[in-house]
Amino acid sequence: MGAFNRGIASWLGRLPTVWVEGEITELRRQARWASVFFTLKDPADGSCLSVSMPRGQFDAVGGSVSDGDRVHVYGRPELFAARGEFRLRALSLEQFGLGDHLAALERLKQKLAAEGLFAAERKRALPRFPRKIGLVTGNDAAAKRDVLTAIQSRFPPASVLVGETYVQGPRAASAVIETLRALCREEGVDVIVVARGGGSFEDLLPFSDERLVRAIAACPVPVVTAVGHEQDTPLCDLASDARASTPSVAARLVVPDLNELLARLDRARSGLERGARRALERERQKLDRTHERLGRAPRLLVERSRHRLEQSAGRLRALSPKATLARGYAIVRSSDEIVRSGSAVEPGERVDIELAEGGFGARVEETR
């Protein structure tokens, strides 16, 4: 039996996904269950089909449906082999009549994309330190509280200008546009957040309104949208400069974390101090080397001068008459004049002879 059931289950797993229409009956959901269970009933002949759907996906797209609602379910047939139970494993669900809305939204999406409203290159960078933040939200919405709380906790110096408006119903799109434009006219607004909490497909339809999408694309300041849950993607998200999965995340996008900034500032200050100390130490070492060179300079100058003096003295000594006398020569004087020629004296004339050490007198006997 088990092998048979597993074989059937394997064969069913190869079948394509399908859309099935019917009325919801026997809807069963519990907080501790991972899946939601219900039965699809054909109102024409009463035939039934068991359906299971992951709880998170059901809450996101079908949380507002109840017994008796007519729906389209997109899923894959499967057999629970352990019990031999056949059912449809649902991947998506939409209420009956929403298919036209989805088709119209898809056409609008393609049209606006072709005009370049969703192009990545037209999206602007958010200001790093906004002075004033505009917030478009409902008047009693949890989204407003989440954004304000997150901004206040992250960056208390920020100023937030709140524009409360309708965020649901037929008047919502026009009201949001009017509030958006009013905030743009306020002096000093650097960025605007459009926030709305989760809701059904119909609740979020105003945020796919063509007029609102164009107004967001044309807004003179950057716009951050935080509409619905993470899996929701209204067209305004595609036209905004940044999309946040929740209002709290939007706050983190538009303001920095003050504590983180202060920590970075401390790190930068410490780095500057270390750099200044290193530079000062290098200059001190250079100055010490300079003082050392200056201290050696006079000694070097004296030594060089002494050496030059000794060289000059040596040359002078080599040129001195005394040096000549020391080599065995003598200086002859007559009447205090140096005799340089034999014709300068006469025989019998007295002369003085100077030697390297001492001298003596003599008389000329003959000249040559």
108-158 pLDDT, tens digit each: 999 999 999 999 999 999 998 998 999 999 987 688 899 999 999 999 888
Asked if residue 153 and residue 239 are part of one domain, the reply reads: yes
The total number of residues shown for the chain amounts to 368
Domain range for residue 354?
322-363
Asked if residue 74 and residue 39 are part of one domain, the reply reads: yes
Asked if residue 192 and residue 234 are part of one domain, the reply reads: yes
pLDDT at 357 over 90: no
- Dump pLDDT digits (tens) for 266-295: 888 888 888 888 888 888 888 878 777 766
* Single residue among 98, 114, 134 that ends a domain in this structure: 98
- d(CA 168, CA 175) in angstroms, rounded, equals 10
Asked if residue 288 and residue 200 are part of one domain, the reply reads: no
- d(CA 176, CA 174) in angstroms, rounded, equals 6
> How many domains does the chain divide into?
4
Asked if residue 302 and residue 269 are part of one domain, the reply reads: yes
β-strand 35-41 against 18-28: which pairing, if any?
Answer: antiparallel
Q: What percent of the chain has pLDDT over 90?
A: 28
* Single residue among 50, 69, 98 that ends a domain in this structure: 98
pLDDT of residue 189: 94
pLDDT at 95 over 90: no
Q: Which residues pair with 70 in a beta bridge?
A: 23
Q: Sorting pLDDT into bands at 50, 70 and 90, what band is 315?
A: confident
Whether 368 is in a domain gets the answer: no
- d(CA 283, CA 285) in angstroms, rounded, equals 5
Whether 89 is in a domain gets the answer: yes
* Single residue among 98, 132, 161 that ends a domain in this structure: 98
Whether 151 is in a domain gets the answer: yes
Q: Are the beta carbons of 19 and 40 closer than 8 angstroms? A: no
The edge-to-edge listing of strands for the beta sheet with 331-334 is 337-338, 331-334, 350-354, 359-363
Q: Sorting pLDDT into bands at 50, 70 and 90, what band is 99?
A: low
Q: What is the dihedral of CA 258, 261, 265, 271, to 10 degrees?
A: 150
Asked if residue 201 and residue 163 are part of one domain, the reply reads: yes
| Mean pLDDT, all residues of the chain | 83
| Cα 62–chain centre separation | 39
Asked if residue 61 and residue 41 are part of one domain, the reply reads: yes
Asked if residue 303 and residue 205 are part of one domain, the reply reads: no
Lowest-pLDDT choice from 189-198, 293-302, 345-354: 293-302
Q: What is the dihedral of CA 59, 139, 221, 201, to 10 degrees?
A: 20
Whether 248 is in a domain gets the answer: yes
Looking at per-residue pLDDT, the higher value among 263 and 185 belongs to 185
Lowest-pLDDT choice from 70-74, 121-125, 172-176: 70-74
pLDDT of residue 344: 76
- d(CA 215, CA 192) in angstroms, rounded, equals 12
Whether 164 is in a domain gets the answer: yes
pLDDT at 302 over 80: no
Asked if residue 158 and residue 233 are part of one domain, the reply reads: yes
224: left (phi over 0), alpha (psi -120 to 50) or beta: beta
The average pLDDT across 94-103 equals: 66
pLDDT at 98 over 60: no
Asked if residue 185 and residue 160 are part of one domain, the reply reads: yes
Whether 328 is in a domain gets the answer: yes
pLDDT at 214 over 90: yes
Q: Sorting pLDDT into bands at 50, 70 and 90, what band is 71?
A: confident
Asked if residue 79 and residue 60 are part of one domain, the reply reads: yes
Asked if residue 80 and residue 153 are part of one domain, the reply reads: no
Q: Inter-axis angle of helices 172-185 and 210-218, to 10 degrees?
A: 10
Whether 352 is in a domain gets the answer: yes
- What SS3 string covers the chain? CHHHHHHHHHHHCCCCCEEEEEEEEEEECCCCCCEEEEEEECCCCCCEEEEEEEHHHHHHHHCCCCCCCEEEEEEEEEEECCCCEEEEEEEEEEECCHHHHHHHHHHHHHHHHHCCCCCHHHCCCCCCCCCEEEEEECCCCHHHHHHHHHHHHHCCCCEEEEEECCCCCCCHHHHHHHHHHHHHHCCCEEEEEEEECCCCHHHHHHHHCHHHHHHHHHCCCCEEEEECCCCCCCHHHHHCCEECCCHHHHHHHHCCCHHHHHHHHHHHHHHHHHHHHHHHHHHHHHHHHHHHHHHHHHHHHHHHHHHHHHHHHHHHHHHCHHHHHHCCCCEEEECCEECCCHHHCCCCCEEEEECCCCEEEEECCCCC
* CATH number for the domain that contains residue 66: 2.40.50.140
Q: What percent of the chain has pLDDT over 70?
A: 87
pLDDT of residue 125: 94
- Dump pLDDT digits (tens) for 318-343: 666 666 656 667 777 888 787 777 77
Q: Are the beta carbons of 77 and 88 closer than 8 angstroms? A: yes
pLDDT at 90 over 70: yes
Whether 122 is in a domain gets the answer: yes
pLDDT of residue 239: 94
